[in-house]
Amino acid sequence: MLYDLHTHSYCSDGQLSPAELVALARRQGVTVLALTDHDTLDGIAEAQQAALESVDVAAIDSAINSLRGEEDNANSDKPLTIITGIELSTQWRGRGIHIVGLNIDIDSPVLQAAIHTQTQTRIQRAETIAQRLEKAGIKGALAGAKRHAGGGAIGRPHSAQYMVDSGYVGTIPQAFKRYLGAGKVGDVKQCWPDVDEAVKWIVQAGGIAVLAHPDKYDLTRTKLYELLGDFSEAGGQAMEVVSGHQDKSVTLKLARAAEDFSLLASCGSDFHSPKNTWQALGRYSPLPESCTPVWTQFT
Ligand code: AMP
Ligand code: MN
Ligand code: MN
Ligand code: MN
């Protein structure tokens, strides 16, 4: 089994359609895939449908092969399971924190209401970000970001892409470094709900709340443990111990933290685009032995 429990499609800031993501997952040998777009569930139905279709094709291939007395191709006939997911934007003590919800009921009224609010917040936030960028000399950022978002959940990567296209910066990381990253003019996060509120939405939708990529927040160990304390108290049950390519020392530190808080361990690539080799779909180190994987709770 190969689990990738943190991925994005173009329904938020990823590059592939949900169906293309599913196709790539199968090629990469992923057997359990969670689509966890930012603040939206719009891609889930397409991913589920694509996974079903793939399984049907595989089943037919397999039947034909067995009629012919041939062996199955190991990679193409593996069924792919889709886990429903979302990555919610939240804040904790003035920092932007991401909470992944896994195995959620996508019809949950509480969750749907929350997503409606998050969507409105994203639209207003895009306007605020564009106003601030305008003051910093960047023109047309709102229309540009909207164009890149298409119909999906609009976010900073779409502003970043616009800035690259218009020649304001050379690369997306540069756009974050100068304008959009933590503490820069375009870093607007005060609008997000508190961590504990988002955790409660996920729990009420029957899902498992997972603290996403804990090493990306630049927290001291003391602060990380305070965050984990608050997160656990709110009903959070898991944390990502492995997020894409990361140093072994980071993995061990996070595995220890998971143990200290009796949290389940999750893993995922945080895949956005085939171009990002450090966030390649289904490609990262396994969870350490000491961890209890989050999928032991999947029903
Ligand atoms: P937002 O959801 O609008 O707050 O944007 C956050 C997203 O921006 C993350 O999920 C990443 O996909 C992307 N991102 C954050 N920091 C960087 C960075 N330094 N370079 C490139 N992309 C980034
Ligand atoms: Mn993203
Ligand atoms: Mn994230
Ligand atoms: Mn993500």
DSSP string, 26-75: HHTT-SEEEE--BT--TTHHHHHHHHHHHHHHHHHHHHHHHHHTPPPPTT
Distance in Å, CA 290 to ligand 3 centroid: 25
Distance in Å, CA 164 to ligand 2 centroid: 17
What is the per-residue pLDDT for 70? Answer: 65
DSSP string, 210-260: EE--GGGG---HHHHHHHHHHHHHTT--EEEEEESS--HHHHHHHHHHHHH
What is the per-residue pLDDT for 68? Answer: 74
Distance in Å, CA 247 to ligand 2 centroid: 21
pLDDT along the chain (299 residues), means of 10: 98 98 97 98 98 77 72 65 98 97 98 98 98 97 98 97 98 98 95 98 98 98 98 98 98 98 98 96 97 96
pLDDT, tens digit, 9 for 90 and up, residues 234-258: 999 999 999 999 999 999 999 999 9
What is the per-residue pLDDT for 74? Answer: 47
Q: Which atom of ligand 1 is nearest to the CA of 177?
A: 19
What is the per-residue pLDDT for 17? Answer: 98
Q: Which atom of ligand 1 is nearest to the CA of 38?
A: 2
CB-ligand 1 contact for 39 (6 Å cutoff):
no
What is the per-residue pLDDT for 77? Answer: 66
Strand order in the sheet with 32-35: 3-4, 32-35, 81-92, 95-102, 208-211, 238-243, 264-268
CB-ligand 1 contact for 173 (6 Å cutoff):
yes
CB-ligand 1 contact for 54 (6 Å cutoff):
no
What is the per-residue pLDDT for 129? Answer: 98
Distance in Å, CA 289 to ligand 3 centroid: 25
What is the per-residue pLDDT for 97? Answer: 98
Distance in Å, CA 245 to ligand 3 centroid: 14
CB-ligand 1 contact for 278 (6 Å cutoff):
no
Token pair listed for 60: 């037919």
Token pair listed for 63: 């039947």
CB-ligand 1 contact for 171 (6 Å cutoff):
no
Q: Considering the entire predicted model, what is its pTM?
A: 0.94
CB-ligand 1 contact for 156 (6 Å cutoff):
yes
What is the per-residue pLDDT for 177? Answer: 98
What is the per-residue pLDDT for 75? Answer: 56
Distance in Å, CA 65 to ligand 2 centroid: 41
